[in-house]
């Protein structure tokens, strides 16, 4: 039988609220999430995958080819192009693919996902419960970390979450099945254009398992899912066909199966199976302790009896989790597409526990959660307040923002005071009040002290790249021997011609004057690492012609780490002559050693 959204006897009075309450909640939600994720947007330099997709977006705008993703003119077929499309669109609107254009799609995605969580939850629960669930998603620790960066995870979570939640809403509300399947498959296709096959696999597996659990064979084995599948195929084909015509089948296969295949291997599976649940728990902080309450049968029964949707949410996460739990190469963020569903479930658990009778296991779980979070907020607030007087063991130079630190400490103190006051009066700490207090502390912590810490740790390569570029005459184009680091390419800002690694003097084109290459830890005279993305190979560690090392810079996020790489700028000695030289050892260091030896 098809389930219907239901609640207990007390729920209708809360669920059928006045319309303006929903409008006010949506307005407050959009304003809060926008301010939280838009604050200090350009403070931190672009890091990680941000510049990888940003350089591709620049080339997409420069070439006008929106079907093929390229870096340095080479096809970069590691993912479908949705992330690059959104960045290129932002760059087209702003006139440049700057940090705002790179990060704005993620921020919009977080705001929209919060709205999706609110609207889905509001379909069967009170406005306050929906508001709490939306706040939970927006303040998950990992969402706060990734949702403000130019990564693909926030957009991916938007499309995957919308595909599953909209399908389930249409199913239980009795929408026309063709429409329900078409919407679900349509958003799954958009998600697939972000990160590949994970989205359609999740959608098909989760909906199938759920319908089998419901024993609704007619809804599963019918012609309507085929129509939805056609919507999925047509959406993908609109990009895939032009891409194939411009490239080949090998690049098509690499786009869909390359990265996914790299995640599944046998080494480290046991260790990953033990550590990954812990990593998931940490990623879902500060709200993940509430999920522990589901370990009590009475809490599970209360949640499921009040909300039939909880069954679908639990099935979805149980079906999807093994795909990342048993894949040794999976990282914590790979489960982020299910975070919208986890937020809805946590909102239902919070509401069920907070309104449970006094003395019950559910009510005790709610009180213990608040006590734990209150103690944590008090400890963090105390640490931030005394941090300027503590010894700096790491040597990190923090960006000073006294006003933000004062605001954070005051907010943490206010949140702890409000929660403890309610306990002292032996009153009930209602979920919206507690969720708003916790979200305010966590959000300000992310845009305040944590961002200040990252600003001290992460290097901004703008200055060193400008200094390197000053050595190159304006009328000459820089060439790279094998692919160059995408962060350097982004901050350099000009096209860099990619060449193969020369093994004989005639391999170097005669018009090359200045060139660059990557110097990695572990390179030797016989072999050096090269490649782009998942395509890694080795070349000789020597060059067959005479050259001068002009300068060497590091553009890594953390230049102090032993894994940091360097970009070497070299100049060909003219007239060109054969001279085998070791490129893995800095020439300035070699020259200094030679001078010291001569003096001795």
Rounded CA-CA distance 239/500 in Å is 30
Q: What is the pLDDT of residue 92?
A: 95
Distance (Å, rounded) from C-alpha 298 to C-alpha 349? 12
Among candidate residues 165, 169, 163, the one with its CA nearest the CA of residue 191: 163
Q: Residue 263's pLDDT is what? A: 58
Q: What is the mean predicted confidence (pLDDT) over 37-49?
A: 90
Mean pLDDT of all residues in 512-533:
91
Answer yes or no: are the C-beta atoms of 572 and 545 closer than 8 Å: yes
Rounded Cα gap, residues 136 and 518, in angstroms = 43
Mean pLDDT of 202-220: 95
DSSP classification of residue 8: -
Q: CA 439 from chain center: how many Å? A: 20
pLDDT at position 433 is: 86
pLDDT confidence bin for 173, thresholds 50/70/90: very high
Helix (H) or strand (E) holding 572: strand 566-572
Specify whether the CB–CB gap between 362 and 302 falls below 8 A: yes
pLDDT category of residue 117 using cuts at 50, 70 and 90:
very high
pLDDT tens digits for range 456-483: 888 899 999 999 999 999 889 999 999 9
For the chain, the residue count is 600
Kindly state the tokens that stand for 401. Answer: 């923002």
pLDDT of 93 = 94
**Contact (CB, 8 A) for 214 and 3:** yes
Q: What CA–CA distance (Å, rounded) separates 187 from 167? A: 10
593 pLDDT higher than 60: no
pLDDT, tens only, 364-385: 899 899 999 999 999 998 888 8
Spatial contact of 200 and 256, defined as CB atoms under 8 Å apart: no
What number is the average pLDDT over the span 9-26?
A: 65
Provide the 10 A C-beta neighbour count for residue 495: 14
Q: Does the structure show a pLDDT above 50 at 595?
A: no
Question: For 311-368, what is each residue's pLDDT tens digit?
Answer: 999 999 999 999 888 877 778 888 999 999 999 999 999 999 988 888 888 888 998 9
Collapsing DSSP to helix, strand or coil, 427 comes out as coil
Distance between CA atoms of residues 25 and 589, nearest Å: 63
pLDDT at 11 (0 to 100) = 44
Count other C-beta atoms under 10 Å from residue 13's C-beta. 9
Residue 282 pLDDT > 60, yes or no?
yes
pLDDT for res 532:
87
* For residue 9, pLDDT beyond 90: no
Confidence (pLDDT) at 10: 39
The percent of residues in the chain predicted with pLDDT above 70, rounded, is: 90
The model carries a pTM of 0.91
Paired tokens of 265: 């291997």
Q: What number is the average pLDDT over the span 90-102? A: 94
Give bridge partners of residue 553 from the DSSP assignment.
567
Report residue 541 CA to chain centroid gap: 35
Comparing 455 with 491, the larger pLDDT belongs to 491
**Band (600; pLDDT cuts 50, 70, 90):** very low
pLDDT at position 1 = 57
Q: Across the chain, what does the average pLDDT equal?
A: 88
Q: Worst-scoring range by mean pLDDT, 50-54, 139-143, 434-438, 512-516?
A: 434-438
Tell me what pLDDT residue 100 has. Answer: 95
pLDDT band at 394 (very low <50, low <70, confident <90, very high): low
Higher pLDDT, 242 or 401: 242
d(CA 522, CA 145): 31
Torsion angle of C-alpha atoms 506, 533, 145, 60, degrees rounded to 10: 70
- Say if residue 3's pLDDT is above 90: no
Q: Would residue 480 be called left, alpha or beta, if left means φ above 0 and alpha means ψ between -120 and 50 degrees?
A: beta
Which letter does DSSP use for residue 400 in this model?
A: P
């Amino acid at each position: 039988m098809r389930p219907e959204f239901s609640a207990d006897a007390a729920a209708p009075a809360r669920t059928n609220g006045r319309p303006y309450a929903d409008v006010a909640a949506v307005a407050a939600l959009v304003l809060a999430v926008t301010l939280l994720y838009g604050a200090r947007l350009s403070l931190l330099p672009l890091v990680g995958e941000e510049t990888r997709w940003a350089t591709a977006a620049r080339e997409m705008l420069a070439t006008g080819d929106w079907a093929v993703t390229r870096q340095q003119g080479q096809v970069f077929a590691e993912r479908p192009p949705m992330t690059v499309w959104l960045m290129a669109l932002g760059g087209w609107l702003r006139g440049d693919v700057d940090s705002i254009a790179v990060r704005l799609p993620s921020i919009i995605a977080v705001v929209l996902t919060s709205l999706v969580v609110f609207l889905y939850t509001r379909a069967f629960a009170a406005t306050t419960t929906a508001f709490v669930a939306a706040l939970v998603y927006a303040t998950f620790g990992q969402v706060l970390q990734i949702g403000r960066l130019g990564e693909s995870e926030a957009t991916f979570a938007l499309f995957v979450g919308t595909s599953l939640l909209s399908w389930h809403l249409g199913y239980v509300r009795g929408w026309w099945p063709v429409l329900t399947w078409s919407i679900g498959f349509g958003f799954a296709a958009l998600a697939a254009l972000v990160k590949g096959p994970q989205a359609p696999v999740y959608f098909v597996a989760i909906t199938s398992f759920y319908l089998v659990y419901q024993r609704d064979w007619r809804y599963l084995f019918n012609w309507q899912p085929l129509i939805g599948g056609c919507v999925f195929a047509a959406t993908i084909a609109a990009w895939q066909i032009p891409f194939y015509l411009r490239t080949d089948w090998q690049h098509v296969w690499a786009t869909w199966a390359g990265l996914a295949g790299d995640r599944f291997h046998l080494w480290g599976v046991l260790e990953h199976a033990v550590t990954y649940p812990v990593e998931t728990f940490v990623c879902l902080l500060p709200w993940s302790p509430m999920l522990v309450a589901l370990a009590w049968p009475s809490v599970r029964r209360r949640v499921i009896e009040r909300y039939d949707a909880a069954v679908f949410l639990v099935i979805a996460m149980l079906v999807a989790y093994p795909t990342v739990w048993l894949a040794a190469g999976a990282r914590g963020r790979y489960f982020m597409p299910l975070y919208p569903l986890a937020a809805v479930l946590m909102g239902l658990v919070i509401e069920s526990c907070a309104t449970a009778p006094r003395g019950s296991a559910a009510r005790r779980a709610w009180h213990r959660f608040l006590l734990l979070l209150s103690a944590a907020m008090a400890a963090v607030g105390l640490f931030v307040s005394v941090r300027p007087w503590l010894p700096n063991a790491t040597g990190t130079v923090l960006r000073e923002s006294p006003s933000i630190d004062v605001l954070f400490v005051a907010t943490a103190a206010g949140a702890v005071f409000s929660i403890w006051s309610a306990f002292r009066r032996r009153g009930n700490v209602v979920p919206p009040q507690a969720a708003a207090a916790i979200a305010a502390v966590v959000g300000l912590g992310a845009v305040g002290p944590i961002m200040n810490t990252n600003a001290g740790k992460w290097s901004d390569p703008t200055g060193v790249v400008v200094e390197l570029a000053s050595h190159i005459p304006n009328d000459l184009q820089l060439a790279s021997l094998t692919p160059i680091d995408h962060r350097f390419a982004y901050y350099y800002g000009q096209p860099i011609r990619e060449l193969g690694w020369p093994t004989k003097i005639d391999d170097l084109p005669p018009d090359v004057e200045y060139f660059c290459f990557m110097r990695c830890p572990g390179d030797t005279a016989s072999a050096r690492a090269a490649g782009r993305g998942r395509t890694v190979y080795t070349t000789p560690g020597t060059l067959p012609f005479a050259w001068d090392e002009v300068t060497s810079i590091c553009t890594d996020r953390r230049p102090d780490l032993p894994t940091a790489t360097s970009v070497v700028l070299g100049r060909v000695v003219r007239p060109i002559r054969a001279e085998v030289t070791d490129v893995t050892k800095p020439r300035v260091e070699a020259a200094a050693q030679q001078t010291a030896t001569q003096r001795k």
